[in-house]
Structure 1
Amino acid sequence: MEKSELYILIAVFFFLTIALVWMGARMWNDMRKRQQNQGQQRKKSH
């Protein structure tokens, strides 16, 4: 295995990790927003 191949592999794994973390953070934020919105709707209905 050449050094250039190793650097490419590291870059790919690094990019995938960032992409997964970013997607997970976005999903987590969406879930939190939905829970907050549901709570507000419940307060309005009562």
Structure 2
Amino acid sequence: MIVGFALHNLFLVSKFMFWAYQNHLLHLLTVVAEDYPAGLHQIK
């Protein structure tokens, strides 16, 4: 019973971590995509 509960929690935590990691990557990509043209414009 306790082992099953621990495994279930571990699964939920890993799923949440994966989701948070994906969201973080997406956020970084959108920030870079928005800032990149502005950065190029400043260099010129």
TM-score by length of structure 1 reads 0.75
Q: Which ranges in structure 2 are unaligned for 5 or more consecutive residues?
A: 39-44
- In the aligned structure 2, how far is the partner of 1:15 from the partner of 1:37? 33
The count of residues paired between Structure 1 and Structure 2 equals 38
Q: Which ranges in structure 1 are unaligned for 5 or more consecutive residues?
A: 1-8
Which contiguous aligned blocks of 4+ residues in structure 1 show a shift greater than 3 angstroms?
Answer: none
Does residue 1:10 correspond to 2:38, yes or no?
Answer: no
What are the superposed Cα offsets for residues 20-40 of structure 1, whole Å, 9 maximum, x if unpaired?
A: 000000000100000000001
- In the aligned structure 2, how far is the partner of 1:14 from the partner of 1:28? 21
- In the aligned structure 1, how far is the partner of 2:9 from the partner of 2:36? 41
TM-score by length of structure 2 reads 0.78
